[in-house]
Amino acid sequence: MKKIIDLGLELLSHQHFDSLAVGVVDFKNKTFERFEVSATNILSPKPYLFFDLASLTKPLTNSAVLLKEPKYFSEQEHLLLNHRAGLPSGGLLSKKTWREEILSYEIKPSETLYSDYSSLRCMLEIEKKSQKKLKDLCSYYFDKNLLHWMDLPVESISPEYGVRNKKIVSGEVHDNNCFNLKEFVSHAGLFATIDGLCQSLLNLNQVTGMNEQLKEAFKSHGNNVRFIKGFDHVSDPEQSLAGKGSSIRTFGHLGFVGTSFWINLDQEKGAVILTNGVQSYWYEKSGLNHLRKTIGEAIWKM
């Protein structure tokens, strides 16, 4: 792990953001190792930063429901979960009428189009079928340090994610729709410490047999289809942001603010990277992507 720490410190020194946490999850032994570098560039003996997980929220909510309660997923929910339901990618939503807008779209099989709207529609459909709120359906495996942004303790500390309305965004969700809606939704909004996310992934696998379910799903999954049970997957291990050494049986997700987790089923190992990659600007991600690939490759070689 010391090599990963040294690599992380070196890579972070060249970024336009200042916080990094990395976790290596061992699913065989149900353990994890991790480290965190805060804005002061000091290794934290006990990680404490609550990172905005951004779109990691999608599989941590909708996919988690599928893994435990598949009865709520018909063909249309699977299309929505895997971004193949013909919904547009996203846009600004009204706080008062967003549900009506999301429900107004026709669901029809389509080519993959990654979509916040598709994630939200999936949430609404499974809530309608179950007569339960998404939070109640998906939080069964949450560690105490995996929380909705509006439930963060007052004393919690988060990295800075940029500026909104002339105010530093810290401890508030970066996604503008999620911030304006101020509800528990499926496309964004979860925060976690590196410990909280690593332990939650172990919990999810323990409760649902996630890794075994994905192994079965990969057997019939065409490599030309990007998402599987709502998780992204590696199609080209040589070029993937998961890093060289991953395999085509590696699944996970990316988050816009600079977060990711990948689970390599061949190694029974998970790689978790949390950053505040949008701190100074969001549009140039070559440094972040280099960090993702380089740390990922180092983890798979451990």
Query: Going residue by residue through the chain (302 aa), what tens digit of pLDDT does each one get?
Result: 999 999 999 999 999 999 999 999 999 999 999 999 987 667 778 899 999 999 999 999 999 999 999 999 999 999 999 999 999 999 999 999 999 999 999 999 999 999 999 999 999 999 999 999 999 999 999 999 999 999 999 999 999 999 999 999 999 999 999 999 999 999 999 999 999 999 999 999 999 999 999 999 999 886 678 999 999 999 999 999 999 999 999 999 999 999 999 999 999 999 999 999 999 999 999 999 999 999 999 999 99
* Full-model pTM: 0.97
Alpha-carbon distance of 187 to 176, in angstroms, equals 11
Scan for tokens 């101020």, then name that residue.
Answer: 182
Query: Quick one: tokens of 267?
Result: 């190694």
Beta bridge partners of residue 52, listed in sequence order:
191
Q: What is the DSSP letter of 150?
A: G
Alpha-carbon distance of 48 to 55, in angstroms, equals 21
Instruction: Let me know how long the chain is.
Output: 302
2-64+138-300 fold: Beta-lactamase (3.40.710)
Alpha-carbon distance of 188 to 171, in angstroms, equals 14
Beta bridge partners of residue 7, listed in sequence order:
none
Domains of the chain, residue spans = 2-64+138-300
